[in-house]
Amino acid sequence: MLDVGLCAFCVSRISAFLEPKTHNLQTNRYNTVKHNYWTPRNPKGDYLKPIAGLEQPENREILYYHPGSFMKISDITLGYTLPKNLVNKATLNNVRVYLKIRNPFLFTKFEGHDPEGSVAVRRTGNQGTTLSRYGTGSEAGNDGPPLVFYQFGLNVTFK
């Protein structure tokens, strides 16, 4: 007998933290990176307009929050229970083999790897320490993609 299990969930209307990959994005004095800056002629720009003499604009972190809605298939299980006539010959009550896959699919428009991990980011103190669920780092919110786990199993019930 074949059995299938599926677990999925959706999260909407959340903001996920994604720090820019370029660290001097808002350090305007360097003028080394070309980005889609906001200007009066480009009101749909993604980043603050460069301002001479203003290296670190206040509240620039607001730019690091992006729509983080997603749908995730978190578990898929495929199992097979051996027929009773085969199991009884081995003096067993039940035998089931299965394959379980965790985190196989993630559907999102979020630009980072995993919006679920990016929501776990928080800022503390005046130092602006960036923490994520995977520890500290300057690229918080840019955590790697969720790990995919494959599990093979065997359930045996003895008489």
Structure tokens at 57: 């604009």
- What's the number of CA atoms in the CB half-sphere (13 Å) around residue 139? 7
Element housing 108 (H / E)? strand 92-108
What is the residue-level pLDDT of the chain in tens, covering all 159 positions? 999 999 999 988 877 777 665 445 555 445 556 677 778 888 887 777 767 776 666 766 777 777 888 899 999 999 999 999 999 888 899 999 999 999 999 898 887 777 877 654 444 444 444 444 444 444 444 467 778 999 999 999 998
Q: Note the pLDDT tens digit of each residue in 33-44.
A: 667 777 888 888
The domains of the chain are located at 2-158
pTM: 0.64
